[in-house]
Structure 1
Amino acid sequence: MVFDPSWTLFLRSLMPWAQGFFTAITELGSDIFYVALILTGFWAYKKREAITVVWVLLVSVLTNYWIKLAIAHPRPDPIYWLEGADATNYSTPSGHAQNSAMLFGFISAKVKRWWMYVVSTVLVVLIGISRVYIGVHYLEDVFLGWALGFALLVLLLLTEKRLTQFFAKYKTEQLYLLLFLFGLVATAISTYLLPQPPNDNFGSLGGLVMGIAIGLLLEKRYVNFTVEPPGGQKWRLVVRVVVGLLLVFAAMIGLAGVLPTDDVWLRAARYALVAIIGAFVWPLVFKKAKL
């Protein structure tokens, strides 16, 4: 039967010991994990590549959002969810499955190492299965998410060179301004035009995009840090990442209490501020602190 929760029951009967395992695995496809991954790469590995990963993920998230809104298929009944499971928007296709397929596939295509292909494949499969196991998705949601993620990945890899050449014609400031305007329009559309599924996330995405644009522009103009730490001392990178992530996550938690979720513009402002902290404020601090 199509969109039948029986696969959830089957997986749990097959692996009754795996509740904690899949609850942890599903977090590898969460916003928190992607934030940590991208910021770690931006602060301590390769800035440009980390920014590219941001664009790749945004394309996938945007595509997933609009397809979910068009299909408007509800999630499985919460009676099938594991305790503590949290999912607030529509079900089809699975964003975890789609985003992980596109993101880890893109990273693998750039790393070009056999072990990266193996790790990425295992992660994508496990993240997808976890969504069915914990009960927040049907198996069909995951299959469709995987298919869309890989289709977008292939399209991106085929057009990457042309896209790079196209955007190279414009100044960085122009591109960031365009990105900011896109985020502004997205937030306005979310507020005034779109139907609001529970905890609609398009306004959040608009705020995040605006914050990324502002943060990266300010970083380029006033900080322009290098990933290589002073004196080549790698321990400084560890401090840079650990303290930076603690700061960003503290900001996410603190701002959630100040800027409530039920107002689209306030929610967008919260995401924008977090992005600015990660892209500009913390780099400014760790550069001055010589980390």
Structure 2
Amino acid sequence: MGAETGGYQVILWCQSVHNEILDWFALFATFLGTETFFLFFVPFFYWCVDKKHGIRLALVFLFSVYLNGFFKEFFQIPRPDPSRVRVLWASSGGGYSFPSGHAQNAMVFWGWLGRRPPWRTKPVLLGLVVLAISLSRIYMGLHFPVDIVGGWLLGGLLLVGLVAVDRRISRTPKGWEGRVLPWLGVILPTAVLLTQSRPLESMVAGAMTGFCSGYLLESRWVDFSPRGPWGYQALKLLLGWGGGALLALGMKMSLPQSQPYVFFQYCVLGIWVSLGVPYIITRMRTLGGKL
């Protein structure tokens, strides 16, 4: 009870200086930690920056999302009472409170991104992004301070562990393509379809399966290059984001939202990102060069 009271006091102290400018800053900062932002950024990174790092970034983020959901269900700690604090963007904080998904995923995502140039030389900037995302959740009345600290600790441990695993796998002759991705494409769908998983597990497993299988097929049969002129990059984003949105909307309207169908929908979207867009763009570029 004392810790909870202290948590409310910290939230109210942060909110005592609220104004419209801080509200908009908090909304923007928290958006950088939402799944919507990641759903746009990860495909952009895969299509336009580095596909090998992009597939790892996607898998790392998805695993963090799954682990956060697991711990939230395990602890089942409720969020701050809206009658006692001022709440902004309540829909960005559904479910349980501990550990903070925004704090954990920000630590993992931006920390992993910081391993690659040009972000490798900007640790302070990335740290400020993680801090802004995390503190915005307290300011918005959606998390207690202990939720944020728990998210940081879990995210930090997960990041250190995943970096160690990545370095070990990358030193093997077969690497990720030969040792990890094929197994993720087989084990995940089997485990999800044979168990009564929650929608979150079906979403994560479907997206992972689609990403892994699509990437393996793309590497063997397409092998597209993320590099290209600005017009080429803009076309990828227009086709990829637009086509993905239409696919997602069409499947959501036409398919039931039960476990196997949720898995299928996210698997299709994973394949679209990792294989569909690269294949279409490569074919268009090849045909354009022949005309």
TM tier relative to shorter chain = 0.7 to 0.9
1:184 aligned onto 2:189: yes
Identical amino acids, percent of aligned pairs: 25
> What's the secondary structure of 1:75's corresponding residue?
coil
Counterpart in the other structure of 1:220: 219
Structure 2 distance, partners of 1:260, 1:30, is 25
Post-superposition Cα deviations, 1:158-184, rounded to whole Å, max 9, x if no partner, equal 454223234x44783664331122321
Counterpart in the other structure of 1:251: 247
Post-superposition Cα deviations, 1:81-101, rounded to whole Å, max 9, x if no partner, equal 325533333221111101111
Contact 2:11/2:141 (<8 A) preserved: yes
Counterpart in the other structure of 1:121: 127
Counterpart in the other structure of 2:69: 65
* Cα distance change, pair 83–128 in 1 and its aligned pair in 2 (3 A): closer
Aligned match for 1:135, one of 134, 141, 153: 141
* Cα distance change, pair 170–148 in 1 and its aligned pair in 2 (3 A): closer
Structure 2 distance, partners of 1:206, 1:268, is 7
Summarize the alignment of residues 235-250 of structure 1 with structure 2, pairs less than 5 Å apart: 235-250=231-246
1:31 aligned onto 2:35: yes
Partner amino acid, structure 1, of 2:202: G
In structure 1, the gaps of 5 or more residues are: none
Partner amino acid, structure 2, of 1:87: G
Contact 2:102/2:133 (<8 A) preserved: yes
Structure 2 distance, partners of 1:127, 1:138, is 14
Partner amino acid, structure 2, of 1:217: L
Name whichever of 37-46 and 109-118 sits farther off: 109-118
Structure 2 distance, partners of 1:266, 1:9, is 43
How far the C-alpha of 1:128 sits from its partner, in A, is 0.5
Contact 1:85/1:134 (<8 A) preserved: no
Structure 2 distance, partners of 1:216, 1:114, is 25
Aligned match for 1:149, one of 135, 145, 155: 155
Aligned match for 2:13, one of 10, 27, 36: 10
Counterpart in the other structure of 1:103: 109
Counterpart in the other structure of 2:268: 273
How far the C-alpha of 1:78 sits from its partner, in A, is 4.4
Structure 2 distance, partners of 1:63, 1:255, is 26
Contact 2:63/2:204 (<8 A) preserved: no
RMSD: 2.5
Post-superposition Cα deviations, 1:100-134, rounded to whole Å, max 9, x if no partner, equal 11221122233376762122111101111122222
Contact 2:184/2:208 (<8 A) preserved: yes
Contact 1:27/1:33 (<8 A) preserved: yes
In structure 2, the gaps of 5 or more residues are: none
Structure 2 distance, partners of 1:278, 1:171, is 18
How far the C-alpha of 1:151 sits from its partner, in A, is 2.2
Partner amino acid, structure 1, of 2:216: L
